[in-house]
Structures are given as C-alpha cells and as structure tokens.
A and B are shown apart, each in its own frame.
Chain A
Amino acid sequence: MNKYFAGIDIGSTMTKAVILQEGIIASVIGPTGPEHRILANRVMEEALERAGLPFSSISYIVSTGYGRINVPFADKQVTEISCHAKGISYLFPRAKTIVDIGGQDSKAIKIDTNGRPTDFVMNDKCAAGSGRFIEVIADTLGLRLEDMGGISLQSGNPAKVSNVCTIWAQQEVASSLAKGAPVSDLVAGIHRSLADRVARMVKRLRVEKEVVLTGGGAKNIGLVHALAEQLEEEVQIPEEPLITGALGAALLGRDITDKAAKNNTALKTKERVLETVKIL
C-alpha cells in the first residue's frame, strides 16, 4: 500500500518523529523543552521535509512518550510501553525482554511473539535509575556525556559506588577522585551502579532472551556492557535507539489503519494542520 504513517515520541529529554511506509522514510531527533506542542510541530515539519511529503499524505499519526497528550494533531495517544514493544519486536523479531534507559526514567517490558507487551515495570521516581545519573557524574568529573561509555570500558577495576542516591554518589565520586582514584575506575563504577539498579528492576519480570536495550542508554557502550554483565545475558541494541518509540508508534498506526480497513469501520483522524502555537 502506498500509505504513510507517522509516530511522534515526546520524551523527557528528546522529541522524535518517524515517517513509515514499507520501512522508515524519515526520522528526526530533537531536544525536548517545556513547549511540547511547538516541538511536536517542529519535528513533524522536519520529518515531512526530509521525506518530501505533504502533511495530508499521512494516513494515521500516533503520539507517545511523557508528553503524548500535547500533540494535538495526533490521531491517537499510546503509551511508550506499547510503542517500544512494537518498535523493538519489528527490529528484533526474537526479542522477548526490552529494557529502555531514558534521560529521566527506565523501564522493562516483556513481549510475546506478536510484539505485544505482556508485563512491564517502570522506574520513573528516581534520577539514580536513569541516564541522568551518568550525566550528573559526567558533570562532576568534567567529562563529556558522549565519552563516558568509552572511558568506563578502559577500566579493569571498577570502583564500588555504594551510594544509590545521585547526590550522595556525586559526593562519593568527588571525594574518591580527590583521594587519587583513577577516573576510568570511577566511571566504570558509576556505570555498574546504574546497570545494577536497572537490572534489579528488570529482574522483577522474568528475563528471557533475546534482550534488547533501547533509549539513550543504548548509545552508551559502557552501559550496554555493564547491563549485560548484571543480567548475565547478551544485550542487543538497535542501530538508532532513540527512535524505537516513534517507530513503534507509527507501526501501531499502520495496524490500526489495517484493522479498520479489514473490519470496514471508519477511522477517526485529526485535521492535517499544524496549528500555530503561541509562545506564552
């Protein structure tokens, strides 16, 4: 079919959009901010531009993520649980356990062979269970966030970071550094600490392979290794981890459209207009 579908994922640190036909036509990743509606408009516009498509050509739009209710042009809002499940199972047909480590939260999802979620667990209450943990420590050590993963892999002796609270861990790392602890050991210790916390959450579901890590955390090679170690399973990562939610959203849009066509029911969609959002 020549139909196009779009997915918009408004996360806590990034806003993403994907346009889908048979495969991904275009994808956009942008930063998040308080004005979700402006950002939603922006990434949608940019995705359309990259795809060379008019807005009216999009058959169905699904929004997801923490800011999903702030996408007025979305035809449906679906949680990131269902969207990541869909997106990852499309990319990894044998995936059974999905872990998503984002900027401000982390989650784990068990899926069945159809890519439907059967159980999930979330940690959205504590910074120390999210990418923010690594970010804060990177700041403390004067390092770039993108370099943290690589630095952690240089260590052969990860430091034990006993504090689970981000603030306390920050103090602990600063004080260890002052005492002469090698930076790579501290960075490795931090990665292990986060991986340990995430693994604790994941183990509340029964971990079954194949295990796929997605979200910003999947771009951190040190975290991928540390998580694999903690879960005692091989951990795979998508080529572009940040868009799996938006991809899943678009795929769900396709499913909804196909189902309506099969059942001969009408699809309710929004007007294909990007309203101008007044900046308050």
Chain B
Amino acid sequence: MNAKNSIISSKVESYYKDYGQRARELNGEGKKLIGYVCSFVPVEMITAAGCIPFRIRGDVGEPITKGDTLLETIVCPFVRSCFDLAVKGKYDFLSGVAIPHACDSMTRSYPVWSYSLELPYSHFINIPSVVKESSFEFFNEILKTFKQSLEEYVGKEISNDDLADAIKLHNANRDKAKAIYEFRKADPPLLTGVELTKIITVGTSLPVEEANALFDEVLEELGQRSESPVEKGPRILVDGACVDNFELIKIIEDSGANVVVDTICNGTRDAFPHTDEGGDPIDALAHRYLDKINCPKTYRNNEAGTFEGDIASRFGDIGKFSKDFKVDGAVLYVYKYCDPFGFEVPARKAYYESINVPLLYLEDLYSTGTIGQLKTRVQAFLEMIG
C-alpha cells in the first residue's frame, strides 16, 4: 500500500493537522457539537442526545496568549492551552461544552469557560471522588441531571434505548481501538506511536459512527502491513494524563525506541474500558466512568493495608500492559501544575521499581519550546537502559 492509498497517511493525517474540520462541516449542516476535555465526560450521553461529542485538544505549537488574560497561569498547561484555543475561536463550531469534576484546574476554570465562550449549552458533571456504593447512587443522579440538561437543550427526551444504542456504538469504537493496539504487540510494532496518537486523537473529533468507519479502514490497512515502519528498539510505555500532541512520542521514537502502549487519557484510559450492556444504561455509565476508568483523580481506598499492596492494586493495569506489550521501559510524563499525577509520582515510581520496569519521569510544560530538553533526557534514559 503506497502513501496515496494509505488512510493513515492521508485521511488521518489531514484530520489531525486540521483538527475539527469535520466538526466544522457538521456544524454547517446544523449538527450540535458538544466539546469536552477529559476522559470522564460520558460521551454516550451526548451521542444519545443526538449531539456529537468533540474532544477539545490543546496545541503545543501555539503559545498561550489570549487565554492568560482570563485564566491564571498556575492552571494545568494542557487546560490552559485548550482554553486559549477556544477563546481564539479555533473551536467556534461548538454549540456547547461539558466539563467534568476531574481536577481543580478543570473545576475552577469551569465558570471561566462557560461565561467567556458564551455558548448556548454548558454543563458541569460532578463526578464523585471516591468509589463506594453511595457514590454510584449519587453518580446515577448526576448522570440523570446531565441527561436532563441535554434533553432541555435539544428539546427531545433521551430514552433508555437511545442510551443503549449510543453505548453499543461507543463500545464498538473501543473494541476497534483495542484491535489497533494489537498491532503494537509485534516486535517491532506494525504501527508507530506517532501514527497511533494521530489515529486515536482524530477518532475523538468525529461522530462515533464515522470514527468507527475510519478505524475499520485503518484496521484493514494495518492488516495488510507485512513489515514494520520502524526498526526494533527498546519498547516503551508512556504513562500520564492528556498527551494529545505527538511531539513527545516522536522524540522517543526518533531516539530509536518503539512506543508500544500507554496509560494516557487519549489512549487506553479513554479507549479500553467498556460500558456494560444489557442492564440499566445509566448505572452502567456510572460504573464505567467512576470505577472502570483508572485515573489518579479517583481515590481508591487502601484495602491491602500495605504500601506494596496498595500500589499493586492502584497501578496494576500498568503491570498488565507492561507484560502484554513486553515493555522494556516507561516514560511518566506529568505536566507542571498537575495535582492528581503530581502527588502520585513517588508511588508510581515505587510501582515501576516493583515490576522491574525502568522509568523516566519527566515534568514538562505544554509547549514545543522544551523539545531540546526532552530529547536529551529521553536519549540519556535510553542510553541507560540500553
């Protein structure tokens, strides 16, 4: 398959470069796009309402300027970048925005988002911070309130069937994403980390049915790949929050390593957990978003009673990915001013040590300005584990 026929080189690349082009078209057709940041927003609800969930992205190449006149610089730089792009009009095709209670940077900036952008729809989803039976009960109510707000906005009821259908579609999307990840298990992987980042990122900018169709095309193309686009190198897991620009991944791969798996938001955190089908859809959503998603923001009680047991429980998914994808090393990439991950760095470090996976911890801003510094650290790390 040459570049001309390649979906990845053409469609994915185009949708990634001009992120939101499809959304803009759909908005022109009268469709309602609801923007969101973070894995905690129940996208199924938005789809069930007949709207299109659109994942707001930052841009490491765009210096934050206008956003700083309204939002403090101590906010997580990813959120700041998203906000900056929004006030610069890059997302003017949005009809609304949905922000979850994921971290203080998002929660505290919610009024600034909703008042500054003056969108017809804005909603804050108050995700609980603990996982108890009462939390699921509460979260069910929160989801019903979210449902009501969307119903008011679109002027139509959202039935349980609408929800069940949306859940099926989004689960299909997750299955396809998982299938794409399978191609990373090869040694060397059959797709690069940069390609994967672009594919997953682009998927979140499209209506779920179109994302599913695109993923099918990608899967077909990958299925026909007989050789890897990269040479064998140390196999790396990337751990962190929203790493939605490919620059970090590229630095790691340009240094001779293969990025084969991740535990980042616009990666497996988003793409892997399934919503249960067949029962009460609201409760199923509550369980997926509060329990199945593994994110530092959710406080998990230490049932083991020991530190070792606690970290094995909290970070066990990292261990499983490391095994399944035969990982040689990991990069923990945390933004400066990120509270949820920042507090977990020593515990995560201890966990990687316990599973004998060498770790490079990077604290960074959200900007291409630090590329030189990142390159040196990544290269030194690879020299260390090589």
Contact = CB atoms under 8 A, between A and B. Distances in A.
Bound pair (A, B): yes
Contact of B384 (A80, A116, A122, A125): A116
B383 interface: yes
Interface in B339-361: none
A79 B383 contact: yes
B96 to A, nearest CB: 38
B379 A79 contact: yes
Contacts of A122: 373, 376-377
B328 to A, nearest CB: 16
A207 interface: no
A120 B380 contact: yes
Nearest to B358: A118
A124 B380 CA distance: 14
B28 interface: no
Interface in B26-74: none
B373 A79 contact: no
A81 B376 CA distance: 8
A82 B384 contact: yes
A38 B384 CA distance: 30
B372 to A, nearest CB: 7
Interface in A113-128: 116-118, 120, 122, 124-125
A168 interface: no
Nearest to A69: B375
Nearest to B255: A79
B373 A81 contact: no
Contacts of B372: 66
A126 to B, nearest CB: 11
A118 B384 contact: yes
A78 B383 contact: yes
A117 B384 contact: yes
Contacts of A118: 384
Contacts of B376: 66, 79-81, 122, 124
Interface string A75-93: 0001111100000000000
Contacts of A66: 372, 376
Interface residues of B, number: 9
A122 B379 CA distance: 13
Contacts of A125: 370, 373
A82 B373 contact: no
B384 A124 contact: no
A117 B373 contact: no
A79 B381 CA distance: 9
A74 B9 CA distance: 34
A81 B380 CA distance: 6
A44 B281 CA distance: 70
Contacts of B377: 120, 122
Nearest to B377: A122
Interface string B281-306: 00000000000000000000000000
B370 to A, nearest CB: 8
A124 B373 contact: yes
Nearest to B372: A66
A277 B384 CA distance: 34
Interface in A32-86: 66, 78-82
A118 B353 CA distance: 13
B47 to A, nearest CB: 42
A66 B377 CA distance: 11
Contacts of B380: 79-82, 117, 120
B374 to A, nearest CB: 10
A79 B372 CA distance: 12
A118 B383 CA distance: 10
Contacts of A81: 376, 380, 383-384
A116 B379 CA distance: 14
A80 B370 CA distance: 17
Nearest to B382: A79
B192 to A, nearest CB: 21
B362 to A, nearest CB: 10
A120 B358 CA distance: 13
A123 B290 CA distance: 38
A245 to B, nearest CB: 12
A118 B385 CA distance: 9
Given A78-B383, A82-B384, A117-B384, 4 more contacts: A78-B379, A120-B377, A122-B377, A125-B373
Interface of A: 66, 78-82, 116-118, 120, 122, 124-125
Interface of B: 370, 372-373, 376-377, 379-380, 383-384
19 contacts: A66-B372, A78-B383, A79-B376, A79-B379, A79-B380, A79-B383, A80-B376, A81-B380, A81-B384, A82-B380, A82-B383, A82-B384, A117-B384, A118-B384, A120-B377, A120-B380, A120-B384, A124-B376, A125-B373
